[in-house]
Amino acid sequence: MAVTEFVWTVPADHPAFAGHFPGRPIVPGVVILDRAQLFAQTLTAVPIHHWQVGNAKFLSPVGPGETLVFALETKASGAIAFSVRASERSVASGSLTPVSA
């Protein structure tokens, strides 16, 4: 299957940084997962609330202003494998599964 890439630059003023963590802001994993689900919606037209996280690994912290590349690959089952990198650094990987309403 083909891999589709999406690019997202983390806004320096993202609201998640307010409490995660004072003095050393780090993007919470849930923000990365949310972005992966939004890109899955864009790729497949399956609404964001119809995706469930099959698994996820967070490999490296992400800070304000970093540019992330999300690579999504649709599997024959309809699931999506994703990986996220910042430059040459692996940041996260996992899978999303479509679910019924």
1-18: per-residue pLDDT in tens? 799 999 999 999 999 998
Q: Considering only residues 20 and 84, tell me which one the structure prediction assigns the higher pLDDT.
A: 84
101 pLDDT tier (thresholds 50, 70, 90)? low
Domain count, the chain: 1
Closest C-alpha to 75, from 44, 49, 37: 44
Domain range for 50 is: 3-15+24-98
Tokens representing 34 are 């949310």
- Residue 23's pLDDT is 87
pTM confidence score:
0.94
Cα 50 from Cα 99, distance rounded (Å):
5
- Residue 19's pLDDT is 85
Instruction: Report, as residue numbers or ranges, the catalytic residues.
Output: 20
- Residue 39's pLDDT is 97
Domain with residue 38: its CATH number is 3.10.129.10
CB within 8 A of 34, min separation 6: which ones? 48
